[in-house]
Structure 1
Amino acid sequence: MPLEIVRHDITKMNVDAIVNAANTSLKMGGGVCGAIFQAAGARELQEACDQIGECKVGEAVITDGFKLDAKFIIHTPGPVWQGGSIQEAALLMASYNNSLKLAKNHQCESIAFPLISTGIYGYPKEEALQIAISTISTFLLNHDMLVYLVVFDKKSFGLSKKLFTSIHQYIDEHYVEEVESTFIRNQEERYLMEHLREAEILRQDVYEEANDSLVNLLNQLDESFSERLLRLIDEKGLTDVETYNRANIDRRLFSKIRNGVDYTPKKKTAIAFAIALKLNLPETIELLTTAGYTLSRSSKFDVIIEFFIQQENYNIHEINEALFAFDQTLLGA
């Protein structure tokens, strides 16, 4: 997927460039900055930074990655939080934008960001996260690049407490525990066994009728996922680009779906398209059915998706923030 939130050590990301939340003097610091210097080779990286000299807040410079898997390190000083009164938001947005542009100019196809300014610089995590996602997703509307937003642990993550609580309550009300689901399935199996004899009596007649109608059934197959998706895109008046960007889907994967009538996507991909098309719950289930899926109350992932659809919140990045917070698979591909 073009934008993905991951829990990982940024120094171990296998990407073309990683971003260092630097200071303006480009000296080795603490936190993420110190970890990057240590992993890359502190002496070599400091020498490269000293040759550049300094970097203003919101701007970005680039060095080699040295001992890192990443080819490049992009250094950008984010703003120090002072209550939001000195254009901190604009400066933080500039840090992301200038880093992305610099990566693009160096032909990078992938880049990993930390949550800039949320450490000792004190930027509120929830606001910083929204700026990061908004800025990155806007850039991706016009550029092909894989972008990772890397957080080390949940404490580093800024999902709204209000949203987290609302989702948690919704899960409590709607999520069916696996034990309960197993009990229900056992009841259904017993019911089926009781009626198996009756079904067996009817089987012969049904079989004979089926032979006569098989050709007709094959001629009346429902739309495939690809056919239904493309029809919905046209009905919604969207372009292909708008659709796969809204769905956080890679352009190349969308091309496979468009050109493959019988292409079956992963469930998370099918749901991502439902979100992009702003389908209601019945429409979402209909689209999923064409790919062989449905939504289940025994899956937290599915219940969270249902929550957002019921709320008519189709912001895929906000949905992914919530899925990440609850340790679920993210939408897109």
Structure 2
Amino acid sequence: MLTKILQGDITTRAVDAIVNAANSTLLGGGGVDGAIHRAAGPQLLAACQELRATDLPYGLAPGAAVATPGFNLPARWVIHTVGPNHHAGQTNKALLVSCFSESLRVADSLGAESIAFPAIGGGVYGWTGHQVAESAATALEGFEASHPGTTIALVEFVLFSPEMEGEFRAVLGEPR
């Protein structure tokens, strides 16, 4: 898989799937979650409400992932995942790795060839940029090893700040 690291707005990426750093309600919020909901339009909220009314009545658990259409986004799908909230005592790094791994698994099951990730768990959830980048790297390595026939050819990390971009470059190196 080719990996790209860039600073920018994930809602503008022309990839098959973008990953939403969602909260467990799936009903929108701040940061990346709010930006994705605004850019996708009200149909995204309706799709998430339908998931809550059917498959996910108690919400999405940290580390899990689920897909919806992308609606008004350039991306065909939005893959929602809930990072563990470090500030709330959810300090199991395996859950953070799972956010990336499960999102890759869902993208592969959809036949996606490209996926863009934000810094899941960074920001208000309290994980450092280094911890997020390490979790992403661990997930990528594990996914590549366990899914040799994956449809995913491109993984982008679209990061909001130059500091987070720097952390990802330090951990993942230059794009490969």
Please report the TM-score for the alignment, with normalisation by the length of structure 1: 0.47
Residue 61 of structure 1, aligned match among 66, 72, 77: 66
Q: CA deviation at 1:94?
A: 1.0
Partner of 1:117: 121
Amino acid at match of 1:62: A
Q: Which runs of 5+ in 1 are unaligned?
A: 165-316, 321-329
Partner of 1:73: 78
Question: Partners of 1:46 and 1:6 in 2: how far apart?
Answer: 28
Task: Decide whether the 8 Å contact of 1:126 with 1:158 is kept in 2.
Answer: no
Q: CA deviation at 1:36?
A: 0.4
Alignment length, in residue pairs? 166
For residues 278-332 of structure 1, what are the alpha-carbon distances to aligned partners after superposition, in whole Å with 9 as ceiling and x for unaligned?
A: xxxxxxxxxxxxxxxxxxxxxxxxxxxxxxxxxxxxxxx6432xxxxxxxxx4x3
Q: CA deviation at 1:86?
A: 4.4
Task: Say which structure is richer in helix.
Answer: 1
Partner of 1:157: 165
Question: Partners of 1:137 and 1:105 in 2: how far apart?
Answer: 18
Q: CA deviation at 1:82?
A: 4.0
Residue 319 of structure 1, aligned match among 149, 173, 176: 173
Amino acid at match of 2:106: L
Partner of 2:108: 104
Whether 1:93 aligns to 2:97 is yes
Equivalent positions of 1:202-217 (< 5 A) are none
- C-alpha change, 1:137 and 1:150, in structure 2 (3 Å) is farther
Partner of 2:56: none
Report percent identity of matched pairs.
39
Please report the TM-score for the alignment, with normalisation by the length of structure 2: 0.86
Task: Say which structure is richer in strand.
Answer: 2
Residue 131 of structure 1, aligned match among 131, 135, 140: 135
Q: CA deviation at 1:159?
A: 2.5
Q: CA deviation at 1:4?
A: 1.5
For residues 65-105 of structure 1, what are the alpha-carbon distances to aligned partners after superposition, in whole Å with 9 as ceiling and x for unaligned?
A: 0000100000001000149x745301111111111111111
Partner of 2:45: 46
Q: CA deviation at 1:106?
A: 0.7
Question: Partners of 2:3 and 2:131 in 1: how far apart?
Answer: 18
Question: Partners of 1:28 and 1:144 in 2: how far apart?
Answer: 29
Question: Partners of 1:64 and 1:18 in 2: how far apart?
Answer: 10
Q: Which runs of 4+ in 1 moved over 3 A?
A: none
Task: Decide whether the 8 Å contact of 2:112 with 2:151 is kept in 1.
Answer: no
Task: Decide whether the 8 Å contact of 2:5 with 2:156 is kept in 1.
Answer: yes
Amino acid at match of 1:134: T
Amino acid at match of 2:97: M
Task: Decide whether the 8 Å contact of 2:65 with 2:82 is kept in 1.
Answer: yes
After superposition, the CA RMSD in angstroms is 2.2
Q: CA deviation at 1:129?
A: 0.9
Question: Partners of 1:138 and 1:2 in 2: how far apart?
Answer: 15
Amino acid at match of 1:51: E
Question: Partners of 1:318 and 1:17 in 2: how far apart?
Answer: 21
Whether 1:32 aligns to 2:57 is no
